[in-house]
Structure 1
Amino acid sequence: MAMFSKKSLTPAPASPQSANGGALAHVRAAIANPYISAGGAALLFLLTLTALVMIIGDPKAGAPVIRLPLAQAVVAAAPPGWREALTADGSGPGIVEEVFELSESPIPEAEAMGEAVITLPGAQSGRRVQPLPPAPIAGLHNPGPNGPLPVIAPNGRTPAQAYARPFQANGKPKVSLIVGGLGLNSRATREAIESLPGEITLSFVPYAEGLQGWIDLAREHGHEVLLETPMEPVDYPDNDPGPYTLLASSGPAETSRRLEWLLSRATGYFGLTNYLGSRFLASDPAMATFTTVLKSRGLAFIDDGQAAGRGLGVPRASAGRIIDDQLSSEAIDQQLLALEAQALQNGQALGSGFAYPLTIAQVAGWAQAVETRGYQLAPASALTR
């Protein structure tokens, strides 16, 4: 009679061959699962990338970046059905309950995986944007018949002080530049605001549509702003700067009326600059009315060189060089180098240019390197006296 042995309650150890076969079957099943294989490939890529950065360093160190929480990226990039693929349906290796519960919320806290760093193509490097306070600043404007007008605050603070870009001299020769004619061409205006460093002062045409929006955007990018004042040239009216041109022949009341209309076009500028004006700037009575209004409203005046030598009794400066009289990259570069030489000789220099696409491009390239040559890039307000 055959004897049957009692079945052991403890399973006998599997042979090495059978154990390996079972493990391989689970591995093959895992690889066959498209969700798990895709996740494994992504994990391998991240580990490889991390190792490379640790070994060779970040090649984009110092460049502007966007930081994106990886928790959001993982959930957004996961393929449809990833949650269902984690359940044990018998077709693949089983998932224990604890892993499934954790996988319901892959990253409970965004900080657990840190941030992804994305470098923006074409972005400027080496400079941090320093936004200026939004305009209008309380106490520095009053309502006028055509819009807000700048005023000196009760504590004595002036718009020239409040709306200028803060500046701290470091003892090096100061180089300043004003780029004007902005507001009429939206593409050139945006390019100047976004591509030039905040130390470059921008001046805007008072007739520009959406002027306040442009000034606000410029200040958000760290630029102080001047408002251009159309003034009578010697060949007026053949060369007519517009309906609110300040005329040398006008009396004080008419000059003040036109000037107040120009001033009410927007807020946020620290001063005025001339547009044309060879005849107006040469008239003592006309300039007396002009400077009286500016002084009463706490504004600065910076001219393109035509009024050099006039004190006028307000914070002011004169540009010593127009950089784009000849519109070629070589000529502009030569003028910028001449501006540096002037700063080296006098301790400071102020230039001006128009918002031609070529001028903007040349100034952007020059501004990135000028301080490496021993100069300090300064806003125009820093040169007023």
Structure 2
Amino acid sequence: MADTTDDLSTPLGQNPAPKRRFRLPFTLPQAAAVLLGSILVVFVGFVLFNHDPLGGEPAARIAIRQTVAPEDKSAAVPPASQPTSAAAVTAQPEAGRKTITIIDGSSGSRQDVVVAGADSDTAGGGAAPVTMAGIDPRLLEKSRYGMIPAVAADGLKPFKAYATGTDADRAKAATMPVIAIVVGGLGVGAAKTADAIMKLPPAVTLAFTPYGSDPGKLVEQARAQRHEILLQVPMEPYDYPDNDPGPQTLLTTLGTEQNIDRLHWHLSRFQGYVGLANFMGARFVAAATVMQPIIREAAKRGLGYLDDGSTPRSVAGQLAEGQAMPFAKADLTIDAVPTSVEIDKALARLEDLAKERGAAIGMASALPVSVERIGAWAKGLESRGVMLVPLTTEMLKSKSG
């Protein structure tokens, strides 16, 4: 029997029923619009309900090892087979550490350094701070970041207590021209710092930044070699943040309390220094409103201040005078052109300044060529009628003169 559904058997004048085709309930443009709308809703919800105040900012993970509190006697007691000693039963805190990258805006060079986290155990005030060897405990005050300098109850100041010049040296310096050399940027790069400590004459003052992985150990080595120590405090340059001195930089955009808090972090990084010096900071040191509280805080803690001389507009000198604190300003940078010939010329200019005015100060970095030329120059300096002295000796002579 013929299939009545084929075209030949269909009566004339009647159209066959059309075949049903599957159709999507929406068009492709409609689907794309729904997908994009869903993504937008998810993004807006994330922004509104994700309470992350640092969203989008660079982040660093800090590993903090939890130590046994001194109060937990059961955990602090050593095994019976272990001899009991102060070192065995006392738990020392181990601060959290993080790696930061310092970028030089002028050259684009990057340098990774490891520093203690600002929120370590010592920051909370719950752990006993570690004191460096040879530090007078009377000259320390506990802050939320650790121990920072203070004037002793009897009036003794860190500036005097940690000065390396003797009374005999100061008496001799009063009778002849003197030069103080300050080598800065130390603490970042242990090998470079160790070379400066061991190869430079003891009368050369060493300035440490707060960013080394263990600055206290290097400062102890420097003090053991009779070098006088300065702490370089990172301050805002004009091209900040393209040229970033590092974490906890003092900024003109911050309030007084914030900058003082950052200063305390720097002050706690190591101990035994006679004063502060600016690390960069052309914009900051020229702004009296932000610089004055820093100078006042340093003076209150018995410290001196060295201006590196790189900014003619610096107000540090007049502010320090108002606080009656020891102050000095560098006359020139010895290795602005880091070649042996130019360094020798700069040292010769420094001698001429000292003979003309009675005292002069030169700044340098710890480049191998700088360390080598300063060491060679210093050997015959006194035979030429000029004395190499620590920075505090130059400061006291200039003040008395």
TM norm structure 1 = 0.64
Deviation at 1:135?
3.2
Helix, strand or coil for the counterpart of 2:306?
strand
Distance 1:347 1:142 in 2: 37
Alignment partner of 1:146 is 2:130: no
Alignment partner of 1:299 is 2:303: yes
Helix, strand or coil for the counterpart of 1:139?
helix
Identity of aligned residues (%): 38
Tell me the equivalent position of 1:87: none
Distance 1:262 1:135 in 2: 20
Alignment partner of 1:199 is 2:203: yes
Deviation at 1:134?
4.6
Aligned residue type for 1:162: A
Tell me the equivalent position of 2:13: none
Alignment partner of 1:246 is 2:250: yes
Tell me the equivalent position of 1:161: 160
Helix, strand or coil for the counterpart of 2:283?
coil
Deviation at 1:356?
0.6
Deviation at 1:184?
1.1
Distance 2:317 2:301 in 1: 22
Tell me the equivalent position of 1:373: 384
Tell me the equivalent position of 1:176: 180
**Does the 8 Å CA contact 2:208/2:229 hold for their aligned counterparts?**
yes
Tell me the equivalent position of 1:268: 272
TM norm structure 2 = 0.62
Aligned residue type for 2:218: W
Assess, with a 3 A threshold, how the Cα gap between structure 1 residues 174 and 349 changes in structure 2: closer, same or farther: same
Deviation at 1:169?
3.5
Distance 1:223 1:343 in 2: 21
Farther-moved stretch of structure 1 (227-236 vs 168-177) = 168-177
**Does the 8 Å CA contact 1:134/1:268 hold for their aligned counterparts?**
no
**Does the 8 Å CA contact 2:237/2:281 hold for their aligned counterparts?**
yes
Tell me the equivalent position of 1:221: 225
Alignment partner of 1:236 is 2:235: no
Aligned residue type for 1:140: L
Aligned residue type for 1:347: G
Residue deviations 1:104-144, cap 9 Å, x none?
Answer: xxxxxxxxxxxxxxxxxxxxxxxxxxxxx953213000222
Tell me the equivalent position of 1:361: 372
**Does the 8 Å CA contact 1:134/1:220 hold for their aligned counterparts?**
no
Distance 2:262 2:151 in 1: 20
Distance 1:298 1:192 in 2: 27
Superposition pairs for residues 72-91 of structure 1, below 5 Å?
none
Q: Which ranges of structure 2 fall in alignment gaps of 5 or more residues?
A: 1-131
Residue deviations 1:147-188, cap 9 Å, x none?
Answer: 111100000010111111124232110011000111112111
**Does the 8 Å CA contact 2:183/2:206 hold for their aligned counterparts?**
yes
**Does the 8 Å CA contact 2:165/2:389 hold for their aligned counterparts?**
no
**Does the 8 Å CA contact 2:251/2:259 hold for their aligned counterparts?**
yes
Distance 2:210 2:307 in 1: 16
Where do 4+ consecutive residues of structure 1 move more than 3 Å? none
Residue deviations 1:19-46, cap 9 Å, x none?
Answer: xxxxxxxxxxxxxxxxxxxxxxxxxxxx
**Does the 8 Å CA contact 1:179/1:352 hold for their aligned counterparts?**
yes
Helix, strand or coil for the counterpart of 1:142?
strand
Helix, strand or coil for the counterpart of 1:361?
helix
Deviation at 1:217?
0.4
Distance 1:294 1:345 in 2: 31
Alignment partner of 1:383 is 2:375: no
Distance 2:225 2:317 in 1: 32
**Does the 8 Å CA contact 1:135/1:267 hold for their aligned counterparts?**
no
Distance 1:229 1:159 in 2: 17
Aligned residue type for 2:318: R
**Does the 8 Å CA contact 2:248/2:262 hold for their aligned counterparts?**
yes
Distance 1:362 1:186 in 2: 20
Assess, with a 3 A threshold, how the Cα gap between structure 1 residues 266 and 309 changes in structure 2: closer, same or farther: closer
Q: Which ranges of structure 1 fall in alignment gaps of 5 or more residues?
A: 1-132
Helix, strand or coil for the counterpart of 2:244?
coil
Aligned residue type for 1:310: Q
Tell me the equivalent position of 1:186: 190
Tell me the equivalent position of 1:6: none
Superposition pairs for residues 25-44 of structure 1, below 5 Å?
none
Alignment partner of 1:259 is 2:267: no
